[in-house]
Structure 1
Amino acid sequence: MTEELFRTDAYLRECSARIARLDEGGAIVLDRTVFYPMGGGQAGDSGALLLADGRAIAISDSRKARDAHGRPLPDVLHVPEPGQESLLDALHPGDAVVARIDWARRHKLMRFHTATHLLCHLVPHPVDGCSITPEYARLDFHMTEPLDKEALTAGLAQLVAQAHPLAVGSISEAELDANPALVKSMSVQPPRGSGQVRTIRIGGGDGQPQIDLQPCGGTHVANTAEIGPVLVSKVEKKSARTRRVVLGWAA
């Protein structure tokens, strides 16, 4: 089981680790990691594993291991870029490495992921699709009403400028069952089994208004001001009951 350090501190850029095993597909499993595995609509991290002799294995992607039925396992797969066979052949379980993410890429993902939570506040409808990449993010809302691109961009800018803090917390599975509306996504449900569900709250501290609260396992910035200039680049009618909102970076 990989210890996922990013769950409690999304700002960790690297960590020491040991190789737990080498996956049959060529991926590397560590005992602990700062790499976020693709999931919940957010892309996986890329970066490098630094070896004791100073060499580095370039990691192009990270994702959850899965069983024969496609169910996620508690291991994070670090997927090497092609053409590094000689380095991979020299690896053994127990070897020490330093896992280092591509921080510039991760920070974009954190900023966009937080911006999608703000968008959920502005468009209070269930989400039935999500994609978060370093260059754009999109949410598909289950709704029929039209959306105004300029109004949404202005609303995001206001929430960013108000500098609302974010807090990572948790609620019990029983509390979530009693408050099902906290789950905004129709297609992705929060992981269960531990008794607790990780949450992200925006605002709501020190007497300030709460902007958003929902279960989420992704990485986020600590304050909405850190998102920076974003805009709604496109609003599309994808079906009779789906409106897609695409976010991009403002110039």
Structure 2
Amino acid sequence: MTKPLFIDNAYLRDAEAEVFAVTDEGGIILDGTIFYATSGGQPGDSGTLTWDGGKIDIATTVKGERGSIVLVPAEPNPLPPVGARVMQSLDWERRHRHMRVHTALHLLSVVIPLPVTGGSIGTDTGRLDFDMPDAPSDKAGLEDTLNKLIGCDFEVRDEWITEAELDANPGLVKTMSVAPPKGAGKIRLVRIGEGGNTADLQPCGGTHVRFTSEIGTVRLGKVEKKGKQNRRVYLHLVP
């Protein structure tokens, strides 16, 4: 397995690692990585790897077999050999924007308290699909409430529960389309706020900002009908 260093610290921009393997397709597997692999609607990270005598750009990152994380080179250039020590560097601006959008979408699921049927995260825009037969009647009011929540500057942190504890509290799961990964015996929760001042608490394996104020101002975009019971709500970071 690749150790996902971003779980403990999503703000690591650079880190050393050892090349554990190279896939038949030319992907690079490290023993530990700061690169987030595409999942849960969040894109895989990009950046660079450098080592003694070489450098390569990483276009994206995906999940591999048996818990591995595979860094996908942008070009078919020479790869670092297995066992080499490398320095991995994130495209931090891109990653941080994903973190801002992702955290904002958690709060969107608070101001629209309906089951989530899908979602996607980009550098400027994100969206959630809701089990919602009719479009919101007061989108401006929802946007105002969302920005007020962001402005509360809630702390965002993770905590862990057992799979049995999650089974006993099914209301923690907001997403209908993606179930929290099981099999490791524990589930990661992301909490926005603290104690009785908790704004949101749900299972999530993605990366988030430390405080909601980092998100900045957002605006709600168009609402699309995606089926009899589904509405897609877009969210945009305001430059």
TM exceeding 0.5: yes
Partner of 2:188: 198
Aligned-pair identity in percent equals 46
CA distance in 2, matches of 1:141, 1:27: 35
User: Could you tell me how far apart the structure 2 residues matched to 1:83 and 1:16 are?
Assistant: 22
2:147 matched residue in structure 1: 157
Matched residue, 2:72: 79
CA distance in 2, matches of 1:152, 1:25: 46
In structure 1, give the amino acid aligned to 2:68.
D
Partner of 1:108: 97
Runs of 5+ consecutive residues of structure 2 not aligned to the other structure: none
For residue 145 of structure 2, give the secondary structure of its aligned residue in structure 1. Answer: helix
Deviation of the 1:152 alpha carbon: 2.2
Q: Where does 1:1-251 land on structure 2 (aligned, <5 Å)?
A: 1-53=1-53, 55-66=54-65, 73-84=66-77, 87-88=78-79, 91-147=80-136, 148-205=138-195, 208-251=196-239
**Kept in 2: contact 1:17–1:99 (CA 8 A):** yes
Q: Which amino acid aligns with 1:52?
A: D
Stretches (4+) displaced over 4 A: none
Counterpart residue identity of residue 59, structure 1: I
Q: How far apart in 2 are the matches of 1:76 and 1:16?
A: 15
Count the aligned residue pairs.
Answer: 238
**Gaps (5+ residues) in structure 1?**
67-72
The C-alpha deviation readout for 1:35-60, integer Å capped at 9, x for no partner, is 0000011011000011123x321000
> Structure 1 residue 83: deviation in Å?
4.1
Q: How many Å separate the matches in 2 of 1:80 and 1:245?
A: 33
3-state secondary structure, aligned to 2:205: coil
Distance in 2, Cα, partners of 1:83 & 1:44: 19
Structure 2 letter corresponding to 1:234? K
Q: Which residue identity lines up with residue 59 of structure 2 in the other structure?
A: S
